[in-house]
Amino acid sequence: MKTPIASLLAILSLPAAACSLPQQLDGKTFINVADPAFSPGNPNAGTIMKLRFSKDDYENKILTRNLVVHGQYRYRRLHDTVGFVEASENYGGQPTRYTLVLTCLNDYSGTAVFTQTQGAVPPDNRQNTVRYTIEQ
């Protein structure tokens, strides 16, 4: 998967960092809340997820559905305030691929843009925002 050009362009216009994303996600736990506004492009509106990252893998506990999904990821910190996650998982027996572009509000929370390119939850190609908090 290629890094979205828009993300790279955004980095060029960033002011001095008032927050920073982790250098790596290994050992981190994120609580994510999907945008609560339902639409065909956001069928998981309001879903709450707890993601636990290890070196190359993660566990996604979907708290609003009592469901656990495992996957693999790659993370790159593109700038102090911008991170990029490429992920794939087996969701209900079907492959799901997506990216997250993370931007921090402070050192422990921010907003992410979720972009799915293949998925068990239709439509295959969709995008929405997520609020994240890194557990301390």
* CA atoms in the 13 A half-sphere facing the CB of 93: 0
Residue 93 backbone class (left: φ over 0; alpha: ψ -120 to 50; beta: rest): left
The answer to whether the pTM exceeds 0.85 is no
Q: Dihedral angle at the C-alpha atoms of 35, 90, 59, 100, nearest 10 degrees? A: -40
Domain boundaries, the chain: 24-134
Looking at residue 10, what is its pLDDT?
53
Under CATH, what is the fold of the domain 24-134? Answer: Lipocalin (2.40.128)
Low-confidence ranges of the chain (pLDDT < 70): 1-17
And the tokens for 16? Answer: 């001095």
Averaged pLDDT of the chain: 88
39 within 8 A of 135, measured Cβ to Cβ: no
